[in-house]
Amino acid sequence: MANFTGSYILDKSEGFEEYLIARGISAEKAKAGAAAATQMDIEHSGDQMKIRVCAGDTEISNLTHTIGKQLDVPRPDGQVMKTTLTLDGKKAVMEQIDGKGVKEVIVRDLQADGSIVATMTSNGVTATRRFKKK
């Protein structure tokens, strides 16, 4: 099983602004979010994975998952996301379903060079972001 532990910085992003808008984030906030310097810190030990994401000085999320178990995650807009993280080889797959039944999938694919390619899909819109290991 791959170990994802490390600190990563955003290196490349495609379609992220559109993805955020598809998730219901305002165009203004989506533009700012897509332009922000983003860092992802992961601590992975056994069946636990903590993922912390910051955009600039703002913490976007800081969650500890037990792999394979559902977690209720409150969002800033008041919704609660039913979130499940699973591992598939070198991929960490996070499936989230909001209170309206809208599904979001984030696949973090650990590359041979130690980077992570994150592919995010929601409402038929997909974004890809590459994070280099610090």
What are the domain boundaries of the chain?
6-133
Task: Please tell me the predicted confidence (pLDDT) of residue 57.
Answer: 87
Task: Please tell me the predicted confidence (pLDDT) of residue 1.
Answer: 67
Residue type at 13 in one-letter notation: S
**Residues of the chain below pLDDT 50:** none
Task: Please tell me the predicted confidence (pLDDT) of residue 76.
Answer: 66
Pairing of strands 80-88, 91-97: antiparallel
Domain 6-133, what architecture?
Beta Barrel (2.40)
CA 119 to chain CA centroid, nearest Å: 8
> Which residues fall within 8 angstroms of residue 45, CB to CB, at 6 or more apart?
5
DSSP state of 98: -
